[in-house]
Amino acid sequence: MHGAGGDWVPAVIFGLDPMWFASLVLIATYAVIMTEKVNRAIVALLGAGVMILTGVLNQAAAVRGVDFNTIALLTGMMIIVAITRKSGVFQYVAIWSAKKVQANPAGILLMLQIVTALFSALLDNVTTVLLIVPVTLVITEELRVKPYPFLVAEIFASNIGGTSTLIGDPPNIIIGSATGLTFNDFVFNLGPVVVVIMIVTAALFHVMWGRKMTAAAADRERVMNFNENEAITDVRLLKQAMFVLTLVIGGFVSAHALHLEPGTIAMFGAALLMLLHNMGSSAEEQSHQVHHTFGEVEWVTIFFFVGLFMVVYGVEQAGVLRLLAEKLVSLTGGDLTVTVLAILWASAILSAVVDNIPFVATMIPLIKSMGGTFGGAENLMPLWWALSLGACLGGNGTLIGASANLTVAGFAERAGHPIRFVPYLLLAFPIMLLSIAISTVYVYWRFL
C-alpha cells in the first residue's frame, strides 16, 4: 500500500509485460469476486498467489504490500466487540431508546436509526446491525408493525454513521491507514455532512413511513414492559468492556499526538480486554474462552484484505495505477474540482454495485500518484474525502452494496419478512443519490 517502491523489479514468466499481466490478474480477481460464485477470500488469496508465482511480486514484496495497520485495527476491534457484546449492553441501549419514546413506532423508527448510526460510527457496520436487528425484530413483532421500514432505515443509518469516523467503515480504515489521516481528521471533515445526511434521511423515512405507523395501546404496553436492565447479563464484563472501549476511543482521538497508529491501539485494547475478561479463570477456562473469542473474528474478511492488498500492490508495482492516474487526470483536464466530483460520483455508483473494499484499495495508490499533478500530497485532501463519502454512502444503493445490507437481509429472511433486491433498489438508489448530492454541495463548499 505504502507508495515507497521497494527493491523488487517485476519479472513476469515467459517475458510477459508486467503491466498488462498484472492488470489482467486484477481484472480477473474483480470479475470472479463479482460473480459471487467463489468466496471472496479465496479469490483474493488466489489472485495474490498468482501475482507471486508469475513473478509480478516475490513473497517479500507481497508482504510489504499488506497494510498491517488496517489488519490490526480490524482484528482488534472485532475481538473487542466479540467480548463486549456478551454483556448485553447493545440490547440494553436499543430497548432503552424504544421505551424513551413510549414505544411509539414512529419514535422507535427514529431512535433506532440514531442508535444504529452512533454504534456504526464506533464499531463496524456489520457488527452493529448484527446487534441491533434482532432486538428490532422482537420490538416490531410485539408492536405488530411491519419490520421492513425499520430494517431499511437501519441499513441506511449503519452506512451513513460508519462514514463519519476512521473506524466506522472499512474504506475509511484503509484510507486513513494509507494516508495518515487521523480519527479526528475524519470526524472534523466528514462528521458535519454525515449529520446533515442522517437528518435528511431520517426525515424522509418519517414522511414515507413513520408518520403513518400506528400500534395498539396494548401492544405498546408490551414493549413498555420490557426490562432493559435484564438485558445486561454480566455487570463485571460490562464495566471492563466500557473501560477498555473508552480507553481505545480516547487512544484514537489522541493517536496523532501520541505518535501511535490506530492498529496498535485497537490490538492493545483487545489484548487488555481479553486479560480482564479471563482474569481469575483457570488455565482450561482461559484457553476455552480465548479460543471462542478468536473464533468470533471474521477471518474471511481479514484474509480477503490480505490477498487484496497483495493483488493491488502487484498492479501498483507494475506501474498500471500510475498510468491510470495519468489518464484520469488528463480526462479531467487536471482540474481539481472536476476530479473530486468525478471520484465522488463514480465511487458512489460503483460501490453500490461492486464491493467497495477492492475499489478503494485500488483507488488509494491511484490517487496518491496524482500528488504531482495537484502540487503535493496536502492538496489531495478533497480527493480522499470524496473517495470516502462515495465509497461508504454508495453502499446504500443496492442490497449487495455493503456487507451490512446483506446481514440485515439475512435476518429479514429468517424472520419471514424478506427484503427483495429490486424493490430495495428502486427505493434506496434514489435516496443514495440524494446523499451524494448533499455530499457534492458540502465537498464543494468546504474543500474547493
* Contact between residue 123 and residue 129 where contact means Cβ atoms under 8 Å apart: no
* Contact between residue 309 and residue 45 where contact means Cβ atoms under 8 Å apart: no
Residue 363 engages other proteins in binding (rule: CB under 8 A): no
DSSP-derived 3-state class of residue 370: coil
Q: Name which of 135 and 380 has its Cβ closer to other proteins.
A: 135
Binding to other proteins (CB under 8 A) within 230-269 occurs at 230-231, 233
DSSP-derived 3-state class of residue 76: helix
Residue 350 engages other proteins in binding (rule: CB under 8 A): no
Binding span for other proteins by CB under 8 A among 126-134, 202-210, 257-265, 294-302:
126-134
Rounded CA-CA distance 279/273 in Å is: 10
Residue 86 engages other proteins in binding (rule: CB under 8 A): yes
Q: Name which of 223 and 392 has its Cβ closer to other proteins.
A: 223
Q: Name which of 147 and 251 has its Cβ closer to other proteins.
A: 147
State the minimum distance, in angstroms, from the CB of residue 89 to other proteins. Answer: 11
Q: Name which of 135 and 306 has its Cβ closer to other proteins.
A: 135
CA angle 325, 262, 72 (to 5 degrees): 85
Residue 298 engages other proteins in binding (rule: CB under 8 A): no
Rounded CA-CA distance 369/176 in Å is: 16
Q: Name which of 232 and 349 has its Cβ closer to other proteins.
A: 232
Residue 295 engages other proteins in binding (rule: CB under 8 A): no
Residue 111 engages other proteins in binding (rule: CB under 8 A): no
Q: Name which of 222 and 322 has its Cβ closer to other proteins.
A: 222
Residue 415 engages other proteins in binding (rule: CB under 8 A): yes
Amino acid (1-letter code) at residue 441: V
Q: Name which of 21 and 226 has its Cβ closer to other proteins.
A: 226
DSSP-derived letter for residue 271 is: H
Q: Name which of 44 and 138 has its Cβ closer to other proteins.
A: 138
Rounded CA-CA distance 287/289 in Å is: 6
Contact track, other proteins, 15-54, x by CB under 8 A: ----------------------------------------
Q: Name which of 101 and 204 has its Cβ closer to other proteins.
A: 101
CA atoms within 13 A on the CB side of 161: 26
Long-range contacts, 331-340 (Cβ 8 Å, 24+): 334/373, 334/374, 336/374, 336/379, 336/382, 336/383, 336/448, 337/444, 337/448, 339/370, 339/374, 339/383, 340/382, 340/383, 340/386, 340/443, 340/447, 340/448
Q: Which of 16, 114, 228, 298 binds other proteins (CB under 8 A)?
A: 228
Residue 296 engages other proteins in binding (rule: CB under 8 A): no
* Contact between residue 174 and residue 357 where contact means Cβ atoms under 8 Å apart: yes
State the minimum distance, in angstroms, from the CB of residue 233 to other proteins. Answer: 5
Q: Which of 29, 54, 91, 398 binds other proteins (CB under 8 A)?
A: 91
Q: Which of 45, 56, 119, 142 binds other proteins (CB under 8 A)?
A: 142
Query: For residue 88, what is its C-alpha cell?
Result: 448485553
Residue 214 engages other proteins in binding (rule: CB under 8 A): no
Q: Which of 96, 122, 71, 116 is nearest to 404 (CA)?
A: 116
Query: For residue 345, what is its C-alpha cell?
Result: 460520483
Q: Which of 6, 49, 134, 191 binds other proteins (CB under 8 A)?
A: 134
Q: Which residues contact other proteins by CB under 8 A?
A: 86, 88, 91, 95, 130-131, 134-138, 141-142, 222, 225-231, 233, 411, 414-416
